[in-house]
Structure 1
Amino acid sequence: MSHDIPANAPGDRHQLVVPPSEQDHRQGSLDARVVLVEYGDYQCPQCGELYALIKTVQERLNATFFEENYLGFVFRHFPQPQIHPQAQKAAEAAEAAGAQGQFWQMSEILLEHHQDLRDCNLVEYANNLGLDVAQFLRDITRRVHIEHINEDIESGIRSGVTSTPALFINGLRYTNALELEPLLAAILESGNLS
């Protein structure tokens, strides 16, 4: 479950150093025409807004192109505990839910409720998803998924990520407004459909 990061990897702030792989949490295919990679923090309000925006983009593209393999989306953890003290545990909760097949469902809840990420909230969310709560808590307490989270963080640092949300489109950093029209235009251009 490790990303191979070359020791001499460039710190280019505009290029994704670690390409998407089977170890990533993803929606859609890794060989889609366009692959988005977000580095996110569950306590970051803008990350929740970006996730909602990406869902809108997915719906719009699916309705427009009917091409199943047009857009892939990868989420990588980049908790910033210095400003978001509950983000690390939330990332571990998402991974613990993922171990039970509910990563995206838990991620959506965490992003929608970024202000409510205390332990009691995480247990409530796990229970609402029908997870094995005892296993969920064991995974978090034992920090079973910390290596994967740290690999995501390291890959983000290598790619020049310093804050969230950070978005890459086909390996290139997206730096325009996190709004529907500019993001959609960048995706279409990247997929050669503009």
Structure 2
Amino acid sequence: MNEDRNHSSLLVPPSTQDHIQGVLSAKVVLVMYGDYQCFRSADVYKLIQGIRRELSAALGEDDLCLIFRHFPQTQIHPHAQRAAQAAEAVAAQGQFWSMHDTLLAHQQNLENGYLVEYANDLGLDIPQFLKDLPKQVHIGRINEDIEGGIESGVTTTPALFINGIRYTGRWNTTELMTAIVAASH
């Protein structure tokens, strides 16, 4: 496999199996690999959300799509894997993005008790959540995200692909927005 391609292109294309904000047919599709315990992942997600709000008026509501894929770095973030499993258990109940936002907002509190509390706060079926989490029902989904990230050259989080090309610029509003706008043309 070509090393440069490995590190600059998204090798697992976006699909309806992904966690999506927006539509896959958007002019710009952002794929973010993140880790719930990684502070930079949370900062970049907030940055992207701000850009999405700004650009939705300029580009249109359906012109920017965000996809989140799990890439827990368990060697440095001991609670990231469990948090990803909680997000997937909640996704099975239709509340992925609510839990996603909660986990990123409370990165310092990702132990099991907190995960149950967050699920409860979202009004979820707690017995089902408590059944899914310890059995690691959704671990396959997380591992697929990790494997796809590795195939695309992801080694750390956050990692962002804009229309399938790895974003290597700075993590600030101006540079990221410029890259997104350029990709929309």
Asked whether the equivalents of residues 9 and 158 of structure 1 are also in contact (C-alpha less than 8 Å), the reply is no
Asked whether the equivalents of residues 9 and 17 of structure 1 are also in contact (C-alpha less than 8 Å), the reply is no
Distance between the aligned counterparts of 1:155 and 1:189, measured in 2? 25
Whether 2:7 is the aligned partner of 1:13: answer yes
Distance between the aligned counterparts of 1:114 and 1:169, measured in 2? 26
Cα displacement (A) at 1:68: 2.5
Q: Which runs of 4+ in 1 moved over 4 A?
A: 8-11
Distance between the aligned counterparts of 2:41 and 2:131, measured in 1? 27
In structure 1, what residue type is equivalent to 2:135? R
Q: In the alignment, which of 22, 30, 34 is matched to residue 24 of structure 2?
A: 30
Q: What is the alpha-carbon root mean square deviation over aligned residues?
A: 1.2
Cα displacement (A) at 1:86: 0.3
1:189 is matched with which residue?
182
The equivalences for 1:11-90 within 5 A come to 12-65=6-59, 67-90=60-83
Asked whether the equivalents of residues 94 and 107 of structure 1 are also in contact (C-alpha less than 8 Å), the reply is yes
Q: In the alignment, which of 141, 148, 155 is matched to residue 148 of structure 2?
A: 155
Q: How many aligned positions are there?
A: 184
SS in 1 for 2:113: helix
Whether 2:110 is the aligned partner of 1:117: answer yes
Q: TM-score, normalised by structure 2?
A: 0.96
Task: Write 1 or 2 for the structure with the bigger share of helix.
Answer: 2
Distance between the aligned counterparts of 1:48 and 1:136, measured in 2? 24
Distance between the aligned counterparts of 2:161 and 2:139, measured in 1? 23
Q: TM-score, normalised by structure 1?
A: 0.92
Cα displacement (A) at 1:64: 2.3
Unaligned runs of 5+ in 1: 1-7
Asked whether the equivalents of residues 36 and 169 of structure 1 are also in contact (C-alpha less than 8 Å), the reply is yes
In structure 2, what residue type is equivalent to 1:188? V
Whether 2:136 is the aligned partner of 1:104: answer no
1:135 is matched with which residue?
128
Question: What's the % identity of the aligned pairs?
Answer: 55
1:40-65 residue CA offsets vs partner (Å, 9 max, x unmatched)? 00000011111111110110011223
Distance between the aligned counterparts of 1:62 and 1:87, measured in 2? 31
Unaligned runs of 5+ in 2: none
